[in-house]
Amino acid sequence: MKKAIYSFALAMGLLVGATSTVSAEEGKLPSAGVNIRDQASLQRGAKLFFNYCVGCHSLKYVRYSRMAEDLGLSEGEVMKNLNFTGAKFGDPVVSHMPEEAAQQYFGKAPPDLSLEVRTKEEGADWVFGYLNSFYVDPSRPVGWNNTVFPNASMPNPLWELQGVQTAVKKEGSDEVEKLELSQPGKLTPAQYQQATRDLTAFLEYASEPAALQRQRYGIWVLLFLAGFTFLAYLLKKEYWKDVH
């Protein structure tokens, strides 16, 4: 019986590990603290992406139909509120910006963001930190810079929400010591952090939409294995009870 209890405890431990979010390690980047199982957060993040990001960036590995299913949205809601390009419901998410225009304004096409979270070593923490680290820099062609990704060629797409941050540099150095909010935006700092957390959660979902289904199935698989282990132990005890 002790072995059966141990096996069940082990299976439940794996279950908890499989469904927990990844925490950030100690470092310069803040913890994003995203949870892709929070459907409301994903919906808010999708709204932000399609209002502020899809003008330049695509999600070519995500289809509107799949996104609707995973985020608990109807076809009508997606096509009315999130589809601004006239794409069909089964089409992938493609940017509004023609490639020629991107070459003209940015020198190259803005990257597809389908795998943005997965390509970064720090994952969601990098994206979250990046979205919170823009500051005005007149020396840059676009007028903005970023402490997480220095000399980024992208302006802050969420500046109206966040406001304008300015850099405070170390004395006698060009190194940025901290960022200060010099002009408030539409959101308070706490509200803006939540908004960027929602957007980061949506991008993490977009990097692997199957993760939601895998986690749902994984729970039942682990419960089945735990139950099967218990029954197998009882069967073993029955077979060997007369063996001395």
Is 244 known as a binding-site position?
no
Find tokens 């794409």 and name the residue.
87
How does DSSP assign the chain, residue by residue? -HHHHHHHHHHHHHHHHHHSPPPPPSSSSPP----TT-HHHHHHHHHHHHHHTTTT--EEEEEHHHHHHHHT--HHHHHHHT--S---TTSEE--SS-HHHHHHHHSSPPPP-TTHHHHSTTTHHHHHHHHT-EEE-TTSTTSEEESSSTT-SS--TTHHHHEEEEEEEPTTSSSEEEEEEEEE-SS-HHHHHHHHHHHHHHHHHHH-THHHHHHHHHHHHHHHHHHHHHHHHHHHHHHHTT--
Is 53 known as a binding-site position?
yes
CB 212 within 8 A of CB 218: no
Q: What angle do CA 234, 235, 239 make, to 5 degrees?
A: 120
Known binding-site residues for heme c equal: 53, 56-57
- Residues forming the annotated binding site? 53, 56-57
